[in-house]
């Protein structure tokens, strides 16, 4: 009997030890997550699903920060002048965009998410930005109304050497493979040179071709899982690696992702997790995050306040990558550099060369296609092999109909050949210093104008930041467009310059940028008083959200939301993001404020019938000739 009792006690102790070990590991994982919703995918989706739609009426639109009447009048007059200018300057571009938008889901999304949703419908009805271009030349693009604008959108990072460069790559590449045409399955001989050059540039043994950056990342992760036999991947909070479910576990992905850890970058707790867990196959790094670790790619739809920050510390980020390299080597975890964006831009050898850290697998895309869509995976023989000699049925499948398409390979061939030209290689000499000087000149010009704007850069990639609390920073993109600067749909969140910008070109961009900021300042959008702060703005936005919940009769009442309350108290930030990789609202809440809000009553908030809104917008689009 005593033996039975001893065995039972031993079994109970063993079970308790297992439970305690699991709790310990779970706590370690939690500590490695950022103190925001960026690392808590399920909670982030839950918060997003509770976000009610509301918008401002016309009076509230101009006074959402409780500005005095004379400031609201200034803003209204400035807005009307800008709307008049847009009608005169962009009539055909706006009309064509409206026609296309009714059938183009991508365009519907980007149009709706250029600015915070409370302002969006009012803005897009009166300041139609237009998304139609007819031609490109040098560092400018021309729309369907023949307006020439300086391109600072950079085609999402594709445009590295100037559009004329890529037009030539596409034309000469097509001529080179014309006789083969669209034959697929076999390779055109240009592939041999492409593979050899990519091997030289990346420093890796093997190459595989894909049709997009997202596909390349999917294959890199699949290879890591295949060769390690492990299930989980680590991505860093806020980093974008394409729209595949496993690398985008939060808002924007309707599925629950169970084999992805979203951890904090530049964190000792993250390194501890990597050292101690046995289920991690790979760590994904997007080097552009060096500008804003643990934050989502910045977009103007998230400019609820002036809390956007960016700062690039090359030495600190290099130390972090070296730490990652060490622990990944110790634990046989694949270190993957996602260089879809920064590859070839910050150095010829990309982030590996720039930070002097070698990854196990590297993905490229965007500019490498010479103007065509492409994704590329590079790695050692050991990481890239897709089958096992001793187990012939155990394979890692990765095929695609259009992989290594002859026309893509032809344009890539031209791109890679031109990278050998001395005049092109000279563009990399002193590249960081050149863009640091240009950034400093822009900052000085903005300071001289006494506008609350500054810029931060990583080489030729810029983020615009705002130094005075405001709810209207997103308006700057429309003043910049009026001055002839072409931005992408994320607005001032990311400006991307091509390397063919001359000093004269950049001086003109600076002049126009400062003129836009001056006009916006004169129109009163950056008014603030002594009580203004980013925290006060976020609290006001939270009150509006609660008021909208209350008015819509949501079954979620503040007093009964104990579960959500506990979850929010466990975090430092309350984030509600509606993205496909882009956040819409982020609210930092340092305390739960329901106690003193009671039943909120916010004037100037409209909760429209969305079906009627959609019908009205459809009718307006159909009215265009």
Whether 455 shows a pLDDT value over 90: the answer reads yes
Percent of the chain, pLDDT > 70?
84
Given the DSSP bridges, would you call strands 206-210 and 232-236 parallel, antiparallel or unpaired? unpaired
CB neighbourhood size of 465 (10 A): 20
Q: How confident is the model at residue 8 (pLDDT cuts 50, 70, 90)?
A: low
Q: How confident is the model at residue 625 (pLDDT cuts 50, 70, 90)?
A: very low
Question: CA-CA distance, 492 to 113, in Å (whole number)?
Answer: 13
Q: For position 62, what pLDDT does the model report?
A: 97
Are residues 205 and 232 in contact, defined by beta-carbon separation less than 8 angstroms?
no
Find, among 284, 274, 379, the residue nearest to 331 by Cα: 274
CB neighbourhood size of 590 (10 A): 11
Which residues are within 8 A (CB) of 193 and not within 5 positions of it... i.e. 6 or more apart? 413, 416, 417
Q: Which 3 state secondary structure label does DSSP give 585?
A: strand
- Could you list the beta-strand ranges (E) of 264-352: 280-285, 334-338
Ramachandran angles phi, psi of 439, nearest 5°: -60, -45
Between 463 and 610, the higher pLDDT residue: 463
Whether 26 shows a pLDDT value over 90: the answer reads no
Q: Is 60 exposed, middle or buried (0-12, 13-18, 19+ CB in 10 A)?
A: buried
Whether 575 shows a pLDDT value over 50: the answer reads no
Are residues 607 and 54 in contact, defined by beta-carbon separation less than 8 angstroms?
yes
Q: Is 596 exposed, middle or buried (0-12, 13-18, 19+ CB in 10 A)?
A: exposed
CB neighbourhood size of 551 (10 A): 17
The single-letter DSSP state of residue 531 is T
Task: Match 């500590």 to its residue by tokens.
Answer: 31
| Lowest-confidence region among 403-412, 447-456, 570-579 | 570-579
What residue ranges do the domains of the chain occupy?
43-55+531-608, 63-160+451-522, 166-294+316-423
Question: CA-CA distance, 536 to 468, in Å (whole number)?
Answer: 13
Condensed to tens digits (0 to 9), the pLDDT of residues 461-493 reads 999 999 999 999 999 999 999 999 999 999 999
Question: What six digits make up the tokens of 304?
Answer: 């609820």
Mean pLDDT of the chain: 87
Can you give the pTM of this predicted structure?
Answer: 0.87
166-294+316-423 folds as: 3.40.640
Question: CA-CA distance, 537 to 356, in Å (whole number)?
Answer: 42
Ramachandran angles phi, psi of 255, nearest 5°: -95, 155
Q: Which 3 state secondary structure label does DSSP give 10?
A: helix
Question: CA-CA distance, 125 to 130, in Å (whole number)?
Answer: 12
Q: How confident is the model at residue 598 (pLDDT cuts 50, 70, 90)?
A: very low
Strand partners, 606: 55
63-160+451-522 folds as: 3.90.1150
Cα–Cα distance list, 559 to 45, 117, 307, 338, 553 (Å) = 21, 26, 29, 45, 14
Whether 13 shows a pLDDT value over 80: the answer reads no
Q: Which 3 state secondary structure label does DSSP give 2?
A: helix
Cα–Cα distance list, 223 to 230, 311, 442 (Å) = 11, 33, 44
């Amino acid at each position: 009997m005593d033996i039975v009792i001893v065995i039972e006690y031993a079994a109970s102790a063993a079970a308790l030890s297992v439970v305690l070990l699991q709790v310990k590991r779970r706590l370690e994982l939690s500590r490695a997550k950022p103190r925001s919703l960026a690392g808590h995918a399920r909670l982030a989706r839950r918060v997003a699903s509770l976000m009610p739609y509301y918008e401002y009426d016309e009076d509230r639109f101009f006074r959402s920060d409780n500005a005095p009447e004379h400031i609201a009048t200034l803003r209204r007059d400035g807005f009307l002048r800008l709307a008049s200018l847009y009608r005169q300057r962009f009539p055909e571009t706006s009309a064509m965009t409206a026609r296309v938008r009714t059938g183009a889901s991508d365009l519907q999304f980007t149009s709706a998410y250029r600015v915070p949703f409370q302002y969006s419908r009012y803005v897009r009805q009166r300041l139609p930005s237009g998304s139609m271009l007819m031609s490109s030349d040098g560092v400018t693009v021309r729309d369907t109304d023949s307006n020439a604008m300086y391109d600072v959108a950079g085609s999402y990072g594709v445009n590295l050497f100037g559009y004329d460069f890529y037009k030539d790559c596409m034309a000469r590449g097509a001529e080179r493979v014309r006789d083969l045409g669209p034959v697929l399955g076999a390779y055109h001989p240009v592939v041999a040179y492409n593979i050899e050059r990519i091997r030289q540039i990346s420093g890796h043994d093997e190459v595989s071709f894909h049709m997009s950056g997202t596909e390349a990342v999917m294959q890199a992760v699949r290879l890591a899982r295949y060769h390690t036999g492990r299930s989980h991947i680590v991505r860093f909070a806020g980093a974008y690696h394409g729209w595949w479910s496993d690398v985008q576990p939060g808002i924007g992905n309707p599925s629950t992702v169970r084999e992805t850890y979203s951890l904090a970058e530049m964190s000792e707790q993250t390194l501890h997790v990597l050292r101690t867990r046995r289920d991690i196959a790979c760590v994904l790094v997007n080097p552009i995050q060096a500008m804003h670790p643990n934050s989502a790619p910045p977009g103007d739809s998230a400019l609820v306040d002036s809390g956007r920050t960016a700062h690039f510390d090359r030495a600190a980020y290099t130390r972090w990558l070296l730490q990652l390299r060490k622990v990944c080597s110790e634990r046989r975890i694949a270190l993957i550099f996602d260089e879809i964006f920064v590859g070839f831009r910050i150095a010829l050898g990309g982030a590996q060369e720039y930070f002097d850290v070698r990854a196990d697998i590297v993905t490229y895309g965007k500019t490498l296609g010479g103007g065509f869509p492409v994704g590329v995976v590079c790695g050692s023989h050991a990481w890239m092999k897709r089958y096992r000699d001793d187990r012939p049925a155990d394979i890692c499948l990765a095929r695609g109909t259009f992989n290594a398409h002859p026309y893509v390979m032809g344009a890539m061939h031209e791109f890679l050949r031109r990278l050998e030209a001395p005049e092109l290689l000279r563009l990399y000499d002193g590249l960081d210093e050149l863009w640091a000087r240009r950034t400093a000149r822009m900052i000085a010009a903005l300071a001289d104008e006494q506008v609350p704007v500054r810029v931060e850069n990583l080489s030729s990639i810029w983020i615009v930041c705002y130094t005075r609390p405001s709810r209207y920073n997103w308006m700057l993109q429309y003043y910049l467009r009026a001055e002839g600067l072409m931005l992408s749909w994320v607005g001032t969140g990311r400006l991307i310059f091509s390397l063919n910008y001359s000093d004269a070109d950049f001086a003109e961009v600076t002049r126009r940028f400062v003129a836009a900021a001056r006009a916006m300042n004169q129109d009163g959008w950056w008014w603030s008083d002594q009580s203004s702060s980013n925290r006060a703005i976020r609290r006001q936005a939270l009150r509006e959200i609660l008021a909208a919940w209350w008015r819509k009769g949501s079954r979620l009442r503040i007093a009964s939301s104990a579960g959500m309350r506990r979850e929010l108290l466990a975090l430092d930030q309350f984030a509600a993001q509606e993205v496909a990789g882009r956040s819409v609202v982020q609210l930092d809440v340092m305390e739960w404020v329901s106690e003193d809000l009671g039943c909120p009553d916010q004037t100037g908030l409209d909760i429209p019938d969305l079906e009627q809104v959609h019908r009205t917008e459809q009718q307006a689009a159909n009215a265009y000739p």
